Structure 1
Amino acid sequence: MHDSPRIGEGWLPESAAGDGALREGSAAGLLADFSHLDGPGFRASDLHRSIRDFYERTSAWGMEVWTQWHPLFQPAGELVSRLFGRRVQQLALPTRPLEVARGMDSKVVPIIGPGGDQQAAGWIRKLRSTGEYVFSGRYSTRVLPDAESPSVHVTFPLESGNLQVFLRPTALSDGSLELRSPAGGFGDNGAYVVVEDGGRAFAARVPLHEVFHVHLDERATLRTDHRLSLWSAPVVRLHYKLFENP
């Protein structure tokens, strides 16, 4: 969580409070080792090496982005982005294709624990054309209480609260990766809003569902298809072209 109405990357120092530390300026990944997600039904070794490399050395990769909103949700997305996302510097999803025409800048900051190991990573993404924040999240792995295998755990800090997403990994037969936050009950993979009020924390599951498909195309270019739905209704699709920085 953060103590300011403007999020940006101001939450990072607080996330390493106590005996932790931030390791800025280093080549870093969202996950120190993708095998931390290994468990029944999933093995990181089944993935194409480029996919693991992206997650383990994210700062060494650049990205180009395309967006396509469902016509019914695009006006609402524009209002949320203008009145909330850009103002608080968080969750400001691009709503117009030309907003992302020049790509996104990406910064990864490892969050180091007392023993010197990477406990999580902050991933900050900005529009290259304007410098405005798009996403600012904390990435790690977490085993949910009734699960046998770890999930990818993403937290988007907000003032006195956050949006948390738990994504189930699947290695597909062609070596590609699927990350999914499906419909389910409280405590399952999915999206949750957490709010702190009066010294107490309250959590609710929200009907936002995401699917990421990270794969190599026929020319061995790494790409990601990202679909976000509200209940079963498609809201927005994002497509990322991923490439190693020169």
Structure 2
Amino acid sequence: MHESATASHVLDFLARRLWSTTGRRVDLAGEHRWLDAPTTTAPTVADGWVTDAASRWGAALVEERDTGLIADLSVFDRPPGSTGRDDLGFSAAALQPAIRDFYQRTAGWRVEVWTEWRPPYGIGGSLISALYGRRVHQLALPVRPLEVSRGMDSRVVRFVGADGASLGSAWLRTLRRTGEFVFSGLYRPIDLPGYAAPMLNVNFPLQHQNLQAYLRPETQPDGSLVLHSGAGRFGDPGTYILITDRGPTVVRVPLHERFTCWTDEEGVLRTDHELKLGRGTALRLHYKLEPRR
């Protein structure tokens, strides 16, 4: 057991060194402040980073029955075309009511999920989950459909600053069948340089590093919601890995996501999540979201 743990820590260290040597130095206190997000010094993530982040920010932790990921979705409002010709814009008021309620009162909703790994990515997903995700209690993407057969339990904890403003929310998701952590992340609006309105920043803390996604929200004509990132330059919406143990270094990785959230013909709120590695679709997830009784 001890030898296995030592080998795992060595692999983690080598992975960080690889990212550090291929990344670019950033100034988290200056022009790259938008990348400043929680990490952890512990080899196991779970929910330990939450109290550390609250202490660092001087924030209070608030956990209520209807705590949401975003205090008010209107913070993302922007007119069509503001980030390019293909940009439909965002209007919180135009969203289907259930979508707005879910994001602003997330803890009051129950989550069911189905997964589908596309070949050959499922092999890599199994290795990552077995050798990394389950060990560190973070990013443990379900590989087998029966792992999520009983759904996920979730907690939402909001960080509230001294002035009463929301600094973001931690969404902690565990498998209902086993209690194991699947995702533990920070959700908050963040301004990217050169963009007129904030993007949704989803940050997953890891030991001396983190994985961050910046997603552009768009309101569709039927009131559904799309959150997406794609290929682009440094500073554009996308996925980044930040390494902090030898001076902050960041790498933009070719991991692209698309969430489509809508209400079906029976009034049930659903979300499709597509994750691409480069141009290939690696994973698809489908969520069924229902208010808690």
Aligned CA-pair RMSD:
0.9
Larger radius of gyration: 2
- The Cα of 1:25 is off from its aligned counterpart by 3.9
For 1:239, give the aligned amino acid: H
> Does residue 50 of structure 2 align to residue 3 of structure 1?
no
1:72 counterpart residue number = 120
- 2:120 equivalent to 1:82: no
Contact kept in structure 1, 2:65 and 2:108, CA below 8 Å:
no
Whether contact under 8 Å (1:39, 1:150) holds in the other structure is no
Structure 1's unaligned 5+ residue stretches are none
**Structure 2 unaligned residues grouped into runs of 5+:** 1-38, 80-88
1:150-189 correspondence runs (5 A): 150-189=198-237
Separation of aligned partners in 2, 1:187 and 1:150: 13
Query: 1:108-123 alignment to 2 at 5 Å?
Result: 108-123=156-171
Output one character per residue of 1:44-85: Cα deviation in whole Å (capped at 9) or x when no partner.
Answer: 111111100000000000011100000201111001001000
**Deviating 4+ runs (over 2 angstroms):** 24-27
Say if 2:132 is the partner of 1:107. Answer: no
Please name the residue that 1:136 is paired with: 184
> In structure 1, what residue type is equivalent to 2:167?
Q
Residue identity in the other structure for 2:51 = P
* Rounded Cα–Cα distance in structure 2 between residues aligned with 1:162 and 1:181: 18
| Contact 2:92–2:100, Cα closer than 8 Å, also in 1 | yes
Residue matched to 1:202: 249
Once the two structures are overlaid, the 10-residue window that deviates more, 76-85 or 10-19, is 10-19
Cα distance between partner residues in 1 of 2:194 and 2:114: 36
Deviations 1:190-219 (A, max 9, x none): 000000133x10011000000000001111
TM-score by length of 2: 0.82
Q: Structure 2: how far apart are the matches of 1:197 and 1:245?
A: 41
Report which of the two has the higher share of strand. 1
How much has 1:26 moved relative to structure 2? 4.5
Give TM-score scaled by structure 1 length. Answer: 0.98
Give the alignment partner of residue 19 of structure 1, picking from 47, 58, 62. Answer: 58
Give the equivalent residue in structure 1 for 2:17: none
Distance in 1 (CA, whole Å) between partners of 2:240 and 2:281 is: 19
- Structure 2 CA distance, aligned partners of 1:7 and 1:30? 20
State the identity %. 49
